[in-house]
Amino acid sequence: YILGCIDHRPDIYLDQIQEGLRTMCGVDVSLSTIWRALHRCGFSMKKACIMD
């Protein structure tokens, strides 16, 4: 599910993945658990910035 979310929306936030896991899969996981799973798959963190 997590990798599918990233493939579908590369700019998705961790809390959005968390909410999807809760509502679609019935699984309640922490943001750090999601981040560790993504990091193990080779993803890195990128900060989002607001464009004026």
User: Quick check: helix, strand or coil at residue 49?
Assistant: coil
In percent, the amount of the chain with pLDDT more than 90 equals 75
* pLDDT above 70 for 50: no
pTM over 0.85: no
Pick the more confident residue, 14 or 44.
14
- What are the residues whose beta carbons fall under 8 Å from the beta carbon of 45, sequence distance 6 or more? 35
14: which 2 tokens? 């961790």
pLDDT in tens, 20-40: 999 999 999 999 999 999 999
pLDDT recorded at residue 17: 96
